[in-house]
Each structure stands twice: as structure tokens, then as C-alpha cells.
A and B are shown apart, each in its own frame.
Chain A
Amino acid sequence: MLDLRSLPDASGYYGPFGGRYVPETLVAALDELEASFDRHHRDPAFVDELESLLRLYAGRPTPTYHAARLSRELGGAHLYLKREDLAHTGAHKINNALGQGLLARVSGKRRVIAETGAGQHGVASATVCAMLGLDCVVYMGEEDVHRQALNVARMRTLGAEVISVTSGTRTLKDAINEALRDWVTNVETTFYLFGSATGPHPYPKIVREFQRVIGREARAQIQELAGGLPNTVIACVNGGSNAIGIFSAFIDDPDVALIGVEAGGRGGDQGNHAATVESGTPGILHGARSLLLQDEGGQIIGTHSIAAGLDYPGVGPELAYLHHVGRAEFVTFGDADAMDALQLLARTEGIIPALESAHAVAGAIRMASETSSDHLILVNLSGRGDKDMETIAAELDTRE
């Protein structure tokens, strides 16, 4: 049996993945962050404050909802949705932003930086910084600034400075590069509020621990609603914070299948998708050893997904490890599958998911149609689709 709590090891490794591949300048700050996290996440006062904020500020617990009409329509398994889309700011990202925001406050650093792809982590960071009275700077690739304009406006409204990154592929990968450069420069005064379950140790661990609440709640809720554990838990995966958050509660249940859905984009060759686990190879990027989309020479290659939050050429080291040991399975669904799933969920249940989460829904729909009504599927509906309405509207126009 995998003991997730024993991972990572003391050096930050999950089997062959993880670790800390950063410039020397950041070592002291990462050591300090790790010590602070290890001390505070066991400190009752810190835990009480975080739980109180999750409840009263973020609106937790989020419900688990039986999508009865969609399940009937599909004629197979019963689908249950973990409604992270109902959390404050519209996605699971708030869970981690609150946790790390409190760590930032105790660190005494007044300036917080964050990277963002779809803008959900940026909005969550800007929100928490506003509430805690911290300065917030968010790095976002220029392409994402355009396609997630609504989230840019939200961050600015919340008082954050949004820096549009024009280097490289102008998406999340380059936003992380710039945020790391900022951190190397301002490390003595700045807290890096990392949003994904990737990056240098201890970030993958910290993000998992702050997202663990998703799985903890969902496990209790589905047992109460359905009288037992799900057969399958499905989440969309890129860096993988929502996936590791919900998977973490079911790792020790060998009969529960864990399925990550990666972005298949337009399908086809390198550059047209972000299916890192399916077609990536081991490598080192952004501080961790994991699976990457890269060329033979080890240069990182561009990705494509209709979902800005899945448009990254890496995956968190712990998810790479769960794949490595066969505990989680990974499948790929593309832009069109995600749009189909989004429309079906919207029309049968009145829920418009984020384009990222629509990939998980696509995976669940496929599985539901292939299984019988005694099968229970739990889907992490990690975010809501409001931010994507422009992309969705344009896509619907081309379909009509």
C-alpha cells in the first residue's frame, strides 16, 4: 500500500520525481518555507484559523451533487460532482491560496507573487491578499491575458498588479519563469504563492496538503449520499492541484480507480496538446524532476489546449509518481470533447463548468456510457465556466 503521507521523502522526492532544482539564491527561502509549513500546519491555532476561513470566507464545505438527469441521459453509471465551482472565486484554487496566504502573513513578507494560467489561481491569490492586506503581483502569459480577460479584470479590481509575460510561448510556462525570476530577485521581501502541485520541494507537498480538503469532504459526502465509496474518481490534470486534492482521500482505497484527464487539444503531434503523462518523458523544469513535453535535445516545447489552465508542458511530480506505480490512470480528451461535455452538463444539469473541468466531465461521460448503473463516478468539478464565456461563445458560433 502506498503511504502518501510518507511522501515526499526528506529531499522532496516521490520515487524518481520531485526534488529541488533551483538556483542557490532560493535555497534559504525554500528551507524557511518548508520549516514554516511543517510547524504551522500542525499548529492548532493556524489550523483553526484556516478552517474558519475555508468555512466562513470560501463557503466550504462545497457540496457533492448527484447529477441524476445527466446520469439518466447517459444510461450508465451514476455521476456525482464535487462542486468546487461553488467555492468563493469560482474554483478550488482558493483552498491553497488561503493556506499559503496565512503562511505569507506569518513570514512577515508583505509582497506576494503568483503565476496564473486560466487566471483562477491569480484571482484566488489577489482575493486572499486583499483580505489579508498584502501586496499582490500576478504573472500571466500574454496569450492567457487575452483569452481570460475577465479574470484579469477581476485581479485588477481586487488590487493586484497583473504583469503580462511576453517571453517564450506567452502562456503559463513563461509566467512561471518570470515569477521565479522575480522571486530570485526579491526573495528577501517576497512570498511566492505557488498555485499548482508542481515546482520545487516543498511546493508540491504544501499544495497537496492545502487541497486535501476537497477529497476529505467528497469522501464523506459521497458515502452519505450513495452509501459507499465511488468506483472511480476523475479529475482534470495539468500541474494537478485539483486532482491530487481529491485523489489524496482515496489513495488507500485499492478498489477506487483514480483517473486523470489530460488536455488532448487539437489532437495529433507535439505542440497541439498538453498530454504530458501520456506522451511526455522524464526531465527537469521549474524546479522539479517530472514528466515533460520536450524535444530530443531537452528544450521544452509549446502546448495547446482550449483550456488555459491545462496549457502547460509539465505535470506535478506526485501525479507522475502515481502513474509510475500504476495507482492512477491517465486518459486524454481534446478541445472538442471538452466543449461537448460542457454543453451536455449545462443543458442537462444547469451547470456550466470551467473548460478545464469540462475535460474531467468528458472523461466521466465516456466512462458512464461504458459502465452500468451500479457504478459510481465522482468527478471533481474544479471550477465554473464564467471566465470562459467568451471562448465558449466563439466556439458555439463556429459550431452553428
Chain B
Amino acid sequence: MNRIDASFISARADSRLVLAPYVTVGYPTRESAVELALAYVEAGADMLEIGMPFSDPIADGPTVQLASQIALEGGVWLEDAFNMIERIRSQTDIPLVPMGYANPFMQFGFGSLARELAAAGADGLIVPDVLPEHADDIETANAQHGLYLIRFAAPTTPRQRLRQVGNGAKGFIYCVSVTGVTGSRARLADNLPAYLARVGEATSVPRVVGFGISKPEHLRALHGRAEGAIVASALIDIVQASPPSKGVEAAAAHVRKLAAAA
């Protein structure tokens, strides 16, 4: 069984949300990115989203852009992502889901990418600028290597399209919580419950909410409305605001609080 499916089955049995913190490959450095990921696992993460940096990340707000830029300035390549996933996989059995934009993946080749990711121990792949209708080659490559290509829903997605997205979706649906880019927000959108209900009517695949999720109360509000949550910018903000020697500890402490509310 794909570890993503196993994770949702187990979380459902415990009436918990699947909590997925996000780490950027090579941020703050190659080494401390691995430390961060392992500290998140230790703090109670149920799944990890592992971001591969791109020069032009159009779905990301200033925080994730900054992390990407720092990583790229450090000379990070896809090989560093494979290496990072392999090192995390040697320590844990939770699902690992890499995320990145289409162009670097296309240059590497979708087939080679799926092979390397699967060999390193990844369980899925998130590509925010590839829509399901343009994803045949990636889907085929991923399926050969047992990886799930994660699909997206947005508040602007019409009902009929939600059904198309849900039909054939694997692992989970990444529900973008707001119209917008990634980044911490003080509160959840008012229309979020209705939107998540719409997604739930269109598909039985687990819903994972991302973009703007930063606090334990956000997670508490998602209980019964979604099956998981991704937290990214809030954690990077903590790392940025902490002295270099304290960043891992401070961000992991926040993950621990989130895990208690998940």
C-alpha cells in the first residue's frame, strides 16, 4: 500500500488530521534542511512535503520564494532532493511528497524523475503548474514507479471540474484554502467550510488543506471538514526569525503544537 493511503487510514482511525509540514531542499542549508525535516517527524508530523526550489515560483508568496532563492544561491539541484529524501526515508516510514514546478522536472525528464524519487523513497509528487489535463506523461511515469501525482482543487474550481479532478485522483486532493499564493494568514477564509464540503461531495479522496494554515486553531477548525493540512510559510517564517542555531528547535516546537491540535 502507498504510504500516503496508509497515513490517512491510520489518521481516520484516530480521528486525527494528517499534518504535513513543508521543508525546502537546501534551506536554510543542505544539512539543516534534513535536520529540520527529521525534527518535524520527531515533533509529530504525519507526512512531509519537500519543496524543490525554482527560479520563478508563481504559486508561492514571498516566504517560500525567499527559501527557494536561498536554496538556489546555495547551488541546490534535483540530486540534492533525491539525497535528502533518501536520508529522511532511512529514519522514518511517514509519506514523503516532493513538490516542484514543471520546468526543472521536464528538463530532468519525468520518467527519470519518477524513477529517482521512487528509489529515494518518495510516495507522491506535487506539481502546482501542471493541470490534470496536461499531466498524462507525468501520470504514466509516476504510476510505473508507484508514485501518486497529487491533484489540486481551488475555491474557484467549478463543481463539474471538481468531479473531473476527483475522478482518478490518488492519495489526496490538495485543497488551496484561498484564491492566492502560499503564505501565512491570520484567519481562515469564511467560505472555506462550504468549499471543502463541495470538494467532499465531488470526491471521496482525502482533502488536504494548504495555503495560509499556520496556527493550532486553524487545524481545530478543519476537523470534520478536511482530512489533512499542509503548513509551510509559518514554519519558514519561524526559521527566518530565529538565530541560525535555534531555527530547527523553534520550528519543531511549533510543529509539536500543531500536532497536538491535528
Contact = CB atoms under 8 A, between A and B. Distances in A.
B128 A285 contact: no
A180 B103 contact: no
A264 to B, nearest CB: 23
B194 interface: no
A19 B129 CA distance: 11
Given A11-B133, A24-B152, A24-B157, A294 B103 contact: yes
Contact of A23 (B72, B108, B129): B129
Interface residues of A, number: 37
Nearest to A167: B65
Contact of B106 (A181, A298, A300): A298
Contacts of B224: none
Interface stretch (A25-33, A42-50, A76-84, A246-254): A25-33
Interface in A259-285: 282-285
Nearest to B78: A297
Contacts of B39: none
Nearest to B61: A181
Interface string B98-125: 0001111111100000000000000000
Question: Which of A168, A174, A184, A188: most chain B Cβ within 10 A?
Answer: A184
Interface in A209-261: none
Interface string A181-215: 10011111000000000000000000000000000
B129 to A, nearest CB: 5
A286 interface: yes
A292 interface: yes
A177 B129 CA distance: 13
Interface stretch (B4-12, B21-29, B173-181, B228-236): B173-181
A28 B56 contact: no
Contact of A284 (B55, B72, B106): B106
A54 to B, nearest CB: 32
B186 to A, nearest CB: 16
Nearest to A24: B152
21 contacts: A21-B131, A22-B58, A23-B59, A23-B176, A24-B156, A24-B176, A25-B155, A25-B156, A25-B180, A27-B157, A27-B161, A167-B65, A168-B55, A184-B179, A282-B106, A283-B103, A297-B104, A298-B103, A298-B106, A300-B56, A300-B103
Interface of A: 11, 19-29, 167-168, 173-174, 177, 180-181, 184-188, 282-287, 292, 294, 296-300
